[in-house]
Amino acid sequence: MTAGIPPLTRGIIAWSILLAVVAGGTVALLAIAIARTPVEHTASIVVVPHPDDEFQTWSLVEDTPDEYKIFVSLTRGDETGFCEPDIRETSLQADLGERAPDPDPPGRWTPECMEARQNSLLGYLTQMSESDPTIPGDFGAMTEYTDLPAEGVEICHDDDGVRDCDASLRTARVWKDAAGRGAVVFFDLGDGDLTQDEAAWALQTLIANRDTWGLDPARVGAMIGAFANEGHSCYSYPHPDHVAVHQVLWNVDFGVGPQVGATCFLDPRQRMSAFVSPESAAAAFALGPNGERLGAHGRNYGWLHDDAFPLAGIRQNDLFMSFQSFWVRFN
Ligand SMILES: [Zn+2]
């Protein structure tokens, strides 16, 4: 049907259709589907490659009192240049309310960098839980599970040209919400070098150990992956760790319910779209009159951006967006 129409025109046509569909029906159909589902307490597993990607799934996560939410970060985000002191000197805007990384990282790939990024995620969820009480946000001590069985998968880091496949990388750190709303689980699969096999190992390990780790064993209602986009005309995000999350949720059937990946509306695989509520969008991204980071994302993750994180709307032209689209597998 679109043969002979130049790509730019096709894009404009597609966006026009999107606007019509959004006005008319996709979201309404989704709401009907949800409304018809009998209320059952389930668990959701939110899969992010890095600690700061959670908002990419937020339209499916917010205001869900019947869902126990497990936020899984597959890496510790330790490759970020913002852990280098000279870069952070210009990126951290503490005067605007951005929280300084804690502890103070002396560089990339350091334990302090990992810990600071973990703490940013815990801080983000804690602040988001203040306005949305269905979000886990009351975290106590961390429990670390080490020497997890390899199950034939080699877990490696490839940092600065140095390859490390030590058994100590087969670890999971678990924080539980004191109010029973969910948990945070950190694996250590290597920021920048995540593979589909490593991600599959981590998610299978999590599913197999929910009981042992003291997590709610409720039926998993959905596994929801963070955003990636290779080639469709939304925000371009071919980051290999994000692509690995898409690959694992698309290719590997974990047998626990639908597997969902955040994508561009124009991705032909797209099956479901929804808006983040204005309340949650503000809770994460609101700025004060002088650019003060009032929202949880800006406040806790602001040190990972030179300026303020932008929030895209219906055009989906930034990494974080209030209008979110997803493909669905193994439904
Ligand atoms: Zn990321």
CA of 177 to the centre of ligand 1 (A): 23
Exposure letters 130-154 (e unless 16+ CB within 10 A, then b): eebebbbbebeeeeeeeebeeeebe
Supply the CATH classification number for the domain 42-329.
Answer: 3.40.50
CA of 36 to the centre of ligand 1 (A): 34
198 versus 1: which is more confidently predicted? 198
CA of 1 to the centre of ligand 1 (A): 36
CA of 65 to the centre of ligand 1 (A): 26
CA of 9 to the centre of ligand 1 (A): 31
Whole-number Å distance between alpha carbons of 265 and 281:
19
CA of 321 to the centre of ligand 1 (A): 14
CA of 35 to the centre of ligand 1 (A): 32
Residue-level pLDDT at 18: 53
Q: Once rounded to an integer, what is the mean pLDDT over residues 229-238?
A: 97
Tell me: the pLDDT tens digits for 139-167? 999 999 999 999 999 999 999 899 999 99
Residue-level pLDDT at 299: 98
Q: Residues in the chain, how many?
A: 331
Whole-number Å distance between alpha carbons of 223 and 28:
22
CA of 6 to the centre of ligand 1 (A): 32
CA of 53 to the centre of ligand 1 (A): 5
CA of 4 to the centre of ligand 1 (A): 36
Tell me: the pLDDT tens digits for 44-57? 999 999 999 999 99
Tell me: the pLDDT tens digits for 256-276? 989 999 999 999 999 999 999
DSSP string, 180-201: SSEEEEE--S-TT---HHHHHH
15 versus 264: which is more confidently predicted? 264
CA of 2 to the centre of ligand 1 (A): 34
Residues 6+ apart with CB under 8 A from 102: 115, 116, 119
CA of 49 to the centre of ligand 1 (A): 5
Name the packing angle between helices 111-131 and 278-285 (round to 10°): 140
Residue-level pLDDT at 150: 96
Whether residue 170 is predicted with pLDDT greater than 80 in this model: the reply is yes
Whether residue 74 is predicted with pLDDT greater than 60 in this model: the reply is yes
Residue-level pLDDT at 38: 64
Please give the share of the chain, as a percent, with pLDDT higher than 90.
87
Residue-level pLDDT at 215: 98
Instruction: Delimit the domains of the chain by residue range.
Output: 1-38, 42-329
CA of 261 to the centre of ligand 1 (A): 14
Element counts in the chain: helices (H) and strands (E): 8, 11
CA of 24 to the centre of ligand 1 (A): 32
82 versus 14: which is more confidently predicted? 82
Whether residue 24 is predicted with pLDDT greater than 80 in this model: the reply is no
Bridge-based pairing state of the strands 143-145 and 323-329: unpaired
Residue-level pLDDT at 1: 39
CA of 91 to the centre of ligand 1 (A): 18
Which amino acid would we find at residue 73? S
CA of 52 to the centre of ligand 1 (A): 7
CA of 82 to the centre of ligand 1 (A): 14
CA of 54 to the centre of ligand 1 (A): 9
Residue-level pLDDT at 127: 98
- Between 15-29, 99-113, 313-327, the lowest mean confidence (pLDDT) is in 15-29
